Structure 1
């Protein structure tokens, strides 16, 4: 009877399991990804996974059991878990770039032959150096672009292997720090000398007063 009484009190307080955990309780989402995608999710030296964690505020871990990758995303805010999961899935199964589509991308790598621009999660395209000068030849990509710079591009081609060729939209790009530079101020012009005129309008070119030593007659 005592046991039934306790169960009755519990049923009144919590008639059934909650649909969701408490507001401050950690939420964890775990899912599998292909083993070959683990490197892309983590990124070079952890760059990609660290970026997602910084942007979403969620904690992410990736394990490998030899068959599949297991991703765990945790946060006390379910919205952060969902956003981090969304970004990871875009890397695992990225959208396809379409020829003719325009994107605002970010320069993620610069080489001697061009700049790689990230246009979609997990999708980078190459802007060849020959397309960066606005019809003029440039010696170095760094003359017009820098890492992290945003640039408007259009997809020119996607080859059978998925490699994307891009070209800038509009005028030739310029490094952001060059766009911010102000034109050098012109040196101050030398002041123009103003001649004194006497009452008759004659110009007096010599301020020196010569005394008349002759005797008054």
Structure 2
């Protein structure tokens, strides 16, 4: 019962099984008749048959293979022919159970976004170092940001283990942004993270390994066009801000613009003091 229930529950959760598995418990009774020991195998035994019988033989498997067996016996030995007969009975019962299970659910449902999973990504071998980063800085950052566990093989196969779908996909996107990058285009919008402030503006991380400069002239738009003496009065490291790419120079450096309907820098607006402008 537990084997069948496990198969049904995993299919219902969307787990991609190679094949459904069912289990059956076989029993055995024996007695001496006219000086000869005779045996009778029983299919799908109950508790009393287990307690008073001579054997508890559990067989689990798919329609093609036996995947697990477990046998307890009170006898000193069981003839091979008797066990072979019990296995034949177990197969017939298993196939019948699998047919009944297939009537309930025959294919995996769509996997719930809340289900744990392991997914793989292939990256070019020459990009492995970029994904890992100096002293593991980049891969550790991705793991901290997404909550996923990431391991990389020498052939470029990346295994991502996560407790749910969004975490796994966030890690996949971050890795692809480094190893299989999407080339940004002018006008493309991002919700970026402030990673550094300088006198002339702030550097915004758009994706792992891809930063752009938000000039101080653009930062003024976050405070209604007022003069900004110190970038730190408006933006702080770690703060989210909605930006778009305004220009890409021949070297690939990105100049960013504030999106006019930006609400992401409210913390900066609240902390900004415009008394110096009066």
- Alignment TM-score, normalising by the size of structure 1: 0.56
Q: Which residue pairs with 1:193 in the alignment?
A: none
Provide closer, same or farther for how the CA distance between residues 33 and 174 of structure 1 changes in structure 2, counting only shifts above 3 A: closer
Alpha-carbon distance, 1:166 to partner: 1.4
- Alignment TM-score, normalising by the size of structure 2: 0.47
2:210 to 123, 127, 134: 123
Moved more, 42-51 or 150-159: 42-51
Q: Which residue pairs with 1:165 in the alignment?
A: 255
1:176 to 258, 264, 267: 267
Q: Which residue pairs with 1:110 in the alignment?
A: 197
Partners in 2 of 1:103 and 1:79 — Cα distance?
Answer: 18
Q: Which residue pairs with 1:32 in the alignment?
A: 122
CA RMSD of aligned residues (A): 4.4
Larger Cα Rg: Structure 1 or Structure 2? 1
Q: Which residue pairs with 1:192 in the alignment?
A: none
Provide closer, same or farther for how the CA distance between residues 32 and 142 of structure 1 changes in structure 2, counting only shifts above 3 A: same
Alpha-carbon distance, 1:107 to partner: 0.7
Question: Would you say the 8 A contact 1:156–1:167 is kept in 2?
Answer: yes
Partners in 2 of 1:112 and 1:69 — Cα distance?
Answer: 40
Provide closer, same or farther for how the CA distance between residues 34 and 118 of structure 1 changes in structure 2, counting only shifts above 3 A: same
Question: Would you say the 8 A contact 2:205–2:212 is kept in 1?
Answer: yes
- Structure 1 runs not aligned, ≥5 long: 185-217
1:12 aligns with 2:58: no
Q: Which residue pairs with 1:98 in the alignment?
A: 185
Provide closer, same or farther for how the CA distance between residues 70 and 8 of structure 1 changes in structure 2, counting only shifts above 3 A: same
- Structure 2 runs not aligned, ≥5 long: 1-83
Partners in 1 of 2:260 and 2:180 — Cα distance?
Answer: 31
Q: Which has the higher helix share?
A: 2
Alpha-carbon distance, 1:121 to partner: 5.5
- The number of residues matched between the two structures is 178
